[in-house]
Amino acid sequence: MFDASRMTTTTRWWTMVLWAITASAAAADLPVEKAVVTAPPNVSPVITRTTPARVVVELEVIEKVGQLADGVEYSFWTYGGTVPGGFVRVRQGDTVELHLANHPDNKLPHNIDLHAVTGPGGGAASTFTAPGHKTRFTFKALNPGLYIYHCATAPVGMHIANGMYGLIYVQPIKPLPPVDHEFYVVQGDFYTDAPFGVKGHQAFSMQRAIDEHPSYVVFNGSALSMVGDRALQAKVGERIRLFVGNGGPNLVSSFHVIGEIFDTVYFEGGQHSQTDVQTTLIPAGGSAIVEFKLDTNGTYLLVDHSILRTFNKGSLAMLKVDGEQVHDIYSGKELDEIYLGDESVASALKKGSEPQPAKPTAVGAGADGKAIFESNCAMCHQAAGQGLEAVFPPLAKADYLMERAKSADRSELVGLILNGKTGALTVNGIEYNGVMTPVAGLTDEDIAAVLSFVTSNWGNAGAPPFTVDEVKKARASVTAKVP
């Protein structure tokens, strides 16, 4: 057995010299490998290596125009052409050689500050890079965890606000247990002169940024990044891990997935975890790793639960989960009937009469359609279907709705309720560009009733009522279209 106390001073000295030589030889001899850097929402593969390596990470800064929302263009500054920049994974104890290239077509100098770095500025000063130049520095990944990286070139706030951030994961020596899917999601706030939704190219507003008054709050650089065809995909029974970051520059995220509970959260991207969490706080320049199992099917929504940001500024993404509905976990709507409250029962009894059966109140399609409208649609389209200026289109006297309701194939309207709707549309000559989230838990009867109701009230007329059979067929065809 090795016992240091029994060594003479000389032997001890020689042993130390030998250790020093072996250690530096080891650093030079480390196997060299190139990091796999992935674009969002993809996460680079788990590192299976069990010894340290010298990992070469190559990032290129690209200034480019992209979509902030449907029809809204913005000049992003990016690492690798995406917001967030590429996902980088190294292993705890690795030596990381960071190469930063600034594309010759770019207009500005940039650099990188990685929160995974121990050393002044996180690498910022060492990587200050003019357009058409490249720089390099090396650091040792001492601490495991999920770290933000970002540009720190003045004005720092502007470089971050334009999309210059991403995540680097320093995989711990003992990796997290395997899951079925890992996804990469980063929230960011954006500041344009014009308010949310105004079309065309929008310029950065320094004043709004200083006031911390964003016009857009989005995941992965766009209100459209993970909705519709671009939704994250998984299946019932699978286990999901989200690597979530918040680039800021200003807002703190109350990260939540509507319809799920996080089984595990590695809060702040560190090594400790908490279980059974509804919403986790992610500071600007911070992160969290969240995990959950998918127990039943449906569309789950990733949101910032500062909820006006979600429904009015774009912080919404979708996770589509295919497979069986597991009824003992989630039944769907089991009951919806007229409720008059204790008051009316009491007053009816006082009068000495039997409680009166509820009177159907709706015109046209009967009571059901109205009740379903009130509990599922009215919060957005408003009580009399009049809509909300610039946000929710009207259903009352709506050409969009009535043209389709009078056409031969009305499956599009059923699809709209089941799958939601994004992208621009025009109602009575006014363009809307919002997000209608899928309306969950409605049966074929419910959908027939609500569509019959909205197409035969508030001045809408001339469309035949929707039948349950028609809805059933439409459901099969619109669901089949989703891959």
Q: How far is the C-alpha of 353 from the C-alpha of 339, rounded, in Å?
A: 18
As measured in angstroms, the least distance from the Cβ of 180 to ligand HEC is: 30
**64 bridge partner residues:** 76
Smallest separation (angstroms) from ligand HEC to the CB of 83: 22
Is residue 258 within the footprint of ligand HEC (CB under 6 A)? Answer: no
Q: Which is nearer to ligand HEC, 317 or 454 (CB)?
A: 454
Size of the site for Cu ion (CB under 5 A): 5
- Asked if 150 interacts with Cu ion (CB under 5 A), we say no
Closest to 287 in 3D by CA, of 184, 143, 209? 184
- Using the Cα atoms of residue 271, residue 274, residue 278 and residue 279 in order, give the sign of their dihedral: negative
Question: Per CB under 6 A, does 463 bind ligand HEC?
Answer: no
CA separation for the pair 412, 467 (Å, rounded): 15
Binding of ligand HEC by 454 (CB under 6 A): yes
Identify residues 405-444 at the interface with ligand HEC (CB under 6 A): 413, 416-417, 421-423, 425, 427, 432-437, 439
Contact in structure between 207 and 193 (CB atoms under 8 Å): no
Locus of tokens 């069986």: 324
Q: What are 36's two structure tokens? A: 């796999």
Of ligand HEC, Cu ion, none, which one sits near residue 153, judging by CB under 5 to 8 A according to partner kind? Cu ion
Near ligand HEC in 355-384, by CB under 6 A = 376-377, 379-381
> Of 241 and 421, which CB lies nearer to ligand HEC in the complex structure?
421
User: Please, which residue, 116 or 448, has the CB nearer to ligand HEC?
Assistant: 448
Rounded-to-integer distance, Cα 255 and Cα 339, Å:
35
Structure tokens at 106: 């770019």
- The verdict on 301 binding ligand HEC (CB under 6 A) reads no
Which does residue 232 touch among Cu ion, ligand HEC, none (CB within 5 to 8 A, set by kind)? none
Q: x/- binding map, residues 71-110, to ligand HEC, per CB under 6 A?
A: ----------------------------------------
- To the nearest 10°, report the CA torsion of 324, 275, 303, 171: -100
When asked if residue 59 is in the footprint of Cu ion (CB under 5 A), the reply is: no
Closer by beta carbon to Cu ion, 158 or else 474: 158
Query: Pick from 309, 275, 301, 304: which is nearest to 289 by CA?
Result: 275
Choose the contact partner of 316 out of ligand HEC, Cu ion, none; CB within 5 to 8 A by kind: none
| CB closer to Cu ion out of 164 and 186 | 164
| Per-residue b or e along 342-351, where b marks 16 or more CB atoms closer than 10 Å to that residue's CB | eeeeeeeeee
Q: Does 151 bind Cu ion (CB under 5 A)?
A: yes
Closest of 299, 288, 233 to residue 265, by C-alpha: 288
Residue 296 binds ligand HEC, judged by CB under 6 A: no
Residue 13, class by beta-carbon neighbours within 10 Å (0-12 exposed, 13-18 middle, 19+ buried)? exposed
Q: Pick one of ligand HEC, Cu ion, none as the site partner of residue 234 (Cβ within 5 to 8 A by kind).
A: none
400 binds, among Cu ion, ligand HEC, none (CB under 5 to 8 A by kind): ligand HEC
Among residues 46 and 378, whose Cβ is nearest to ligand HEC?
A: 378
Minimum CB–partner distance for residue 416 and ligand HEC (Å)? 6
CB of residue 435 to ligand HEC, shortest distance in Å: 6
Q: Are 210 and 158 in contact (CB under 8 A)?
A: no
Question: Which structure tokens are listed for 81?
Answer: 């052409």
| Using rule CB under 5 A, residue 222 touches Cu ion | no
Candidates 321, 450, 471, 478; binder of ligand HEC (CB under 6 A) is 450
Residues 154-173 binding Cu ion (CB under 5 A) are 159, 164
Residues in contact with Cu ion by CB under 5 A are 110, 151, 153, 159, 164
Residues in contact with ligand HEC by CB under 6 A are 376-377, 379-381, 392-395, 398, 400-401, 413, 416-417, 421-423, 425, 427, 432-437, 439, 450, 454
